[in-house]
C-alpha cells in the first residue's frame, strides 16, 4: 500500500520531492525523500513586497502564490524571500511550491486580527481549541496540497504571538488563536532549515497529512507563552521529525488525533511517526506528549536519541474517559533528561472535553509502550502512571533506566491501574511495573498472546 503510494507520487510529480521506497539507515523510517531545485523561481519583490517590517505584504504573498499555481504542472516553482522583515497576514500555499527564506529573511505575522481570516474548526475537534466555535486561519496555510516545501537558509518565521498570548490570558479572544504553519489534508510536506519564533498557538501543525518531514528546524516560544506547542502531528501518518531544537511554553512535540466524539467520528489516527535527534525544552508542561486529544488513535511511534531539559515533564501520555481511541506500539529509547520535574507520566484523567456531548463510556486504550536506555539527572518524580480503572494501562515496558532523584522528592514512582514489566530500572519502580521480563525484552511484547505480563 505504502509502496503504491510512493510509486504513484513518483510518477505523478516531476518535482522537487522524490521518494525512495528502500530502507536506508541514514533516512527516517517513514519518510524517504530528497529535495531537488525547482525549475522556476520568483522573488517576492516582483510582487511589490516591501521588507521594512511595517508595510503589510499579505497581498504580495497571495498574488505571488496565485501566479505560481500555473507552474504546478511544470515541475513547480520556488517563491524566494530575500533578507528583510516581511510583515504579512495569513496566506495559502499551493502544490509543487517551495517557499524559500534566505538567511536574514524574516516573515512577521501581523498583530492585527483583521489580517487573519476566520474559518471553521477542524472536523476532528468540532470547535476551536481555546474557545467554542470558529478559529483564525494560520499564518501560512496549506489545504489539499501535494509536494510543498517550506525551507530556507535559516530564515525566520516570527508569529509575533505576544498579542495573542495576552488576549488568551485576558479572555479577550473572539476566536481560537491561529497557528504559525498549518497544512491540512496534504501529502509530501517538508518544513526544514528554518527558525520559527513566537507562534500564537502551535508552531507547525500538519493535520490529516501523510509523508511529512520536519527537519533541522529551531522553534522557540518563550517560557510563559500560554499553551504554545512546537510541532503537532495530528491525524497524520508517515511523519519524521529530526535534528530539531524546540523550546516552548507548553509541549515541545505533541502527537494528537482529534477530540472526543469529533475525533472518534473523524477516525483518522496518527501513525508511523519517527522522532530522532531532537533537543526539547518545555517550561510548563511536557517535552514530548501523546494526547491528550487522541480520539482517532496514535500508534507505531519510534522515538530515539532525544535530549530533554529544564522542563516540568519529560514524556507524557495523556488521555481521559470519553476520548476513546488508543495510544499503542510506542518505542522510546536513548533519552537523556536534565532538570526535569517528572520524567515519565501516563495519565488517565488528563484533558477537558470539547462540550457535554462526549460519551463517557468511550474508554481510551494505552498499551505496549516501551521506554528504554534512559538516564536522568536532577529528577523529582521518576514516573507517575495513573491508568483508568475500567481500562487499565497495560504492557508498559521499562528497561535500562537510571534516574538520579533529587533530595526533595516525596515518592519516585506513583502507580495505579497500570501493569507492566521492568528490568534494570533505578530507582526501583512500583510493584505494578516490577514484573521482571520473563526472558528477553521481546517478552514484554510477546506476552500479549499469553494474557498478561504482570498482575494488577
Ligand atoms: C485559502 O484557502 C482556503 C481553502 O483552504 C480558501 O477558502 C480561501 O479562500 C483561500 N484564501 C485565499 C486568500 O486564497
Ligand atoms: C541546518 O540548517 C542550517 C541553516 O538553518 C544549515 O546551515 C545546516 O547546514 C543545516 N544542516 C543540515 C544537516 O541540513
Ligand atoms: C538561525 O537563526 C537564529 C536567529 O534567527 C539564530 O539564533 C541561530 O543561531 C541560527 N542558526 C544557524 C544554524 O545558523
Ligand atoms: C473582539 O471583538 C470585539 C467586538 O467586535 C472587538 O472590540 C475586539 O477588539 C475583538 N478582540 C480581538 C482580540 O480581536
Ligand atoms: C538544509 O540545508 C542544507 C544546507 O544548505 C541542505 O544541504 C539540505 O538539503 C537542506 N535540507 C532540507 C530538507 O531542505
Ligand atoms: C518496538 O520494539 C519491538 C521490540 O523490539 C518491536 O517488535 C516493534 O516492532 C517496535 N515497534 C515499532 C513501532 O517500531
Ligand atoms: C533541578 O531541576 C529543577 C526543575 O525541576 C530546577 O528548578 C533546579 O534549578 C534544578 N537544580 C539544579 C541544581 O540544576
Ligand atoms: C543502557 O543505556 C545506556 C544509555 O542510557 C547505554 O549506553 C547502554 O548501552 C545501555 N545498556 C544496555 C545493556 O543496553
Ligand atoms: C484504579 O483507580 C481508581 C481511581 O480512579 C482507584 O479507586 C482504584 O483503587 C484503582 N485501582 C487500583 C487497582 O489501583
Ligand atoms: C529465552 O531466550 C533464549 C535466548 O534468547 C531462548 O533460547 C529461550 O528459548 C528463551 N526462553 C523462553 C522461555 O522464552
Ligand 10 in reach of 404 Cβ (< 6 A): no
Ligand 10 in reach of 442 Cβ (< 6 A): no
The per-residue pLDDT for 14 is 30
From the CA of 336, the nearest ligand is 8
- Report the half-sphere exposure of 70 (CA within 13 A, side-chain side): 5
- Report the half-sphere exposure of 113 (CA within 13 A, side-chain side): 17
- For residue range 150-197, what is the model confidence (pLDDT) as tens digits? 999 999 999 999 999 999 999 999 999 999 999 999 999 999 999 999
The per-residue pLDDT for 434 is 82
Of 167, 174, 176, the one to substitute when testing ligand 4's pocket (max ligand atoms within 8 A of C-beta) is 174
Asked if residue 350 has pLDDT above 80, the reply is yes
- Mean pLDDT computed over 25-45: 83
Ligand 2 in reach of 103 Cβ (< 6 A): no
Q: How far is the CA of 399 from the centre of ligand 6 (A)?
A: 14
Comparing 3-7, 221-225, 336-340, 440-444, the range with the smallest average pLDDT is: 3-7
- Nearest CA to 34 out of 174, 259, 190, 142 is that of 190
Q: How far is the CA of 56 from the centre of ligand 1 (A)?
A: 18
The per-residue pLDDT for 9 is 34
Q: How far is the CA of 293 from the centre of ligand 5 (A)?
A: 33
Ligand 2 in reach of 154 Cβ (< 6 A): yes
d(CA 86, CA 187): 28
- For residue range 262-286, what is the model confidence (pLDDT) as tens digits? 999 999 999 999 999 999 999 899 9
- For residue range 367-402, what is the model confidence (pLDDT) as tens digits? 999 999 999 999 999 999 999 999 999 999 999 999
Q: How far is the CA of 331 from the centre of ligand 9 (A)?
A: 26
Q: Are 244 and 196 in contact (CB under 8 A)?
A: no
Q: Phi-psi category of 310—alpha, beta or left, where left has phi over 0 and alpha has psi -120 to 50?
A: left
- For residue range 36-73, what is the model confidence (pLDDT) as tens digits? 889 999 999 999 999 999 999 999 999 999 999 999 99
User: How does the average pLDDT of the chain come out, rounded?
Assistant: 90
| Ligand 6 atom closest to residue 330's alpha carbon, by position in its atom list | 13
Nearest C-alpha to atom 4 of ligand 8 is from which residue?
A: 373
State the alpha helices, DSSP H only, in 119-259.
162-169
Ligand 6 in reach of 67 Cβ (< 6 A): no
Q: How far is the CA of 18 from the centre of ligand 5 (A)?
A: 14
Which is higher by pLDDT, 33 or 427? 427
Nearest C-alpha to atom 8 of ligand 8 is from which residue?
A: 373
- Mean pLDDT computed over 325-351: 97
Q: Are 243 and 270 in contact (CB under 8 A)?
A: no
Q: Are 399 and 371 in contact (CB under 8 A)?
A: yes
Q: Are 140 and 181 in contact (CB under 8 A)?
A: yes
What is the enclosing helix (H) or strand (E) of 130?
Answer: none
- For residue range 67-90, what is the model confidence (pLDDT) as tens digits? 999 999 998 999 999 999 999 999
The per-residue pLDDT for 4 is 30
The per-residue pLDDT for 410 is 72
Amino acid at each position: 500500500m505504502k509502496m503504491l503510494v510512493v510509486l504513484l507520487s513518483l510518477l505523478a510529480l516531476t518535482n522537487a520531492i522524490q521518494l525512495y521506497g528502500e530502507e536506508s539507515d541514514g533516512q527516517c523510517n517513514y519518510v524517504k525523500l530528497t529535495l531537488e531545485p525547482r525549475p522556476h523561481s520568483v522573488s517576492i519583490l516582483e510582487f511589490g513586497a516591501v521588507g521594512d517590517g511595517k508595510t503589510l505584504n499579505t497581498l504580495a504573498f497571495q498574488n505571488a502564490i496565485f501566479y505560481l499555481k500555473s507552474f504546478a504542472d511544470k515541475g513547480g516553482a520556488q517563491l524566494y524571500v530575500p533578507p528583510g522583515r516581511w510583515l504579512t497576514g495569513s496566506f495559502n500555499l499551493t502544490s509543487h511550491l517551495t517557499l524559500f527564506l534566505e538567511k536574514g529573511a524574516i516573515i512577521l505575522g501581523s498583530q492585527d486580527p483583521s489580517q487573519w481570516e476566520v474559518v471553521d474548526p477542524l472536523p476532528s475537534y468540532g470547535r476551536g481549541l481555546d474557545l467554542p466555535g470558529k478559529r483564525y486561519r494560520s499564518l501560512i496555510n496549506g489545504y489539499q496540497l501535494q509536494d510543498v516545501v517550506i525551507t530556507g537558509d535559516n530564515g525566520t518565521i516570527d508569529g509575533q504571538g505576544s498579542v495573542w498570548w495576552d488576549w488568551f490570558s485576558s479572555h479577550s479572544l473572539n476566536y481560537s488563536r491561529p497557528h504559525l504553519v498549518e497544512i491540512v489534508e496534504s501529502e509530501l510536506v517538508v518544513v526544514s532549515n528554518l527558525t520559527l519564533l513566537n507562534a500564537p498557538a502551535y508552531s507547525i501543525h500538519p493535520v490529516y497529512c501523510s509523508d511529512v518531514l520536519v527537519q533541522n528546524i529551531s522553534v522557540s516560544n518563550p517560557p510563559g507563552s500560554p499553551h504554545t506547542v512546537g510541532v503537532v502531528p495530528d491525524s497524520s501518518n508517515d511523519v519524521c521529525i529530526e535534528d530539531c531544537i524546540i523550546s516552548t511554553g507548553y509541549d515541545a512535540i505533541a502527537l494528537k488525533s482529534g477530540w472526543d466524539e469529533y475525533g472518534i467520528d473523524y477516525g483518522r489516527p496518527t501513525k508511523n511517526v519517527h522522532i530522532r535527534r531532537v533537543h526539547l525544552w518545555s517550561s510548563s508542561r511536557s517535552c514530548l506528549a501523546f494526547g491528550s486529544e487522541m480520539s482517532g488513535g496514535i500508534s507505531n511511534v519510534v522515538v530515539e536519541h532525544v535530549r530533554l531539559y529544564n522542563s516540568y515533564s519529560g514524556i507524557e501520555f495523556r488521555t481521559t474517559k470519553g476520548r476513546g481511541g488508543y495510544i499503542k506500539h510506542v518505542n522510546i529509547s536513548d533519552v537523556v533528561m536534565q532538570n526535569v520535574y517528572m520524567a515519565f507520566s501516563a495519565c488517565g484523567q488528563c484533558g477537558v472535553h470539547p462540550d457535554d456531548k462526549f460519551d463517557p463510556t468511550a474508554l481510551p486504550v494505552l498499551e505496549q509502550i516501551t521506554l528504554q536506555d534512559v538516564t536522568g539527572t536532577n529528577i523529582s518524580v521518576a514516573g507517575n502512571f495513573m491508568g483508568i480503572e475500567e481500562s487499565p494501562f497495560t504492557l508498559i515496558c521499562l528497561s535500562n533506566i537510571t534516574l538520579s532523584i533529587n533530595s526533595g522528592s516525596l515518592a519516585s514512582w506513583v502507580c495505579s491501574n497500570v501493569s507492566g514489566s521492568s528490568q534494570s530500572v533505578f530507582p526501583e519502580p512500583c510493584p505494578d511495573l516490577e514484573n521482571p521480563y520473563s526472558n528477553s525484552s521481546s517478552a514484554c511484547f510477546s506476552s500479549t498472546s499469553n494474557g498478561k505480563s504482570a498482575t494488577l
